Amino acid sequence: MLRDIRNNYQKYKLEEKGLDNSPLSLFDEWLNQAISEKVVEPTVMVLSTVQQGFPDSRVVLLKELTAEGFVFFTNYRSKKGEQIQNNSNVSLNFFWAEMERQVRVKGIAEKIDSVQSEDYFKTRPRDSQMGACASNQSMEVDSREKLERQFEVCEKKFDGKTIPMPEHWGGYIVKPFEIEFWQGRSSRMHDRILFFQDEGKWRFKRLQP
């Protein structure tokens, strides 16, 4: 039965002692630990946007962490791109099951500089670059065969050539104003530390589980 599935979390704990007012530093520490411990897909995050008052969520990949926030890349004409254009309030959710940890982020999404996007695009595998050129992300297509033909057309067009970054493709940075760190603990008495902006400075408080 689903109701009987449960784990008793007890790997780590999260205490106020030793914390400073720098949630991005703590996130970087947790992320690097997840990578070193070979967590499955450590950079996966659920991005939630708003469409006509309803949340809309999907999995994307974190590609850079800066002093300002969290960077990911996408097609600006996609559903999420349109939704961000209409409402830049977004949330991110990271969950590292192997470490019994979750991080929830609320922030504002902004496009990054096109030069930064192009620098990243050049590092992508050629097939990924081709896919960005061939796919009108989120748009309806008649069949899988038609989608594959679009890819083949791009392959022929750029055969032996550098693939340019599409004008409608690029990065966003999510600048956080609230970050909550959740550490699973035994007896469901989990640790929850919420960092929040107060007059331009980060502060934190403990929440009940």
Tokens of 197: 């902006």
CA pair distance 148, 164, nearest whole angstrom: 20
Helix residue spans in 23-74 (DSSP H): 23-36
What structural domains does the chain harbor?
2-122+167-207 (2.30.110.10), 125-164 (no CATH)
Instruction: Give yes or no for residue 49 having a pLDDT over 90.
Output: yes
- Identify the active-site residue in 58, 149, 188, 203: 188
pLDDT tens per residue, range 148-157: 898 898 899 9
pTM: 0.92
Q: Is residue 188 flagged as an active site residue? A: yes
CB atoms within 10 A of CB 147: 14
Are 23 and 202 contacting, i.e. CB atoms less than 8 angstroms apart? yes
Lowest mean pLDDT among 2-11, 60-69, 117-126, 177-186: 2-11
Instruction: Give yes or no for residue 141 having a pLDDT over 80.
Output: no
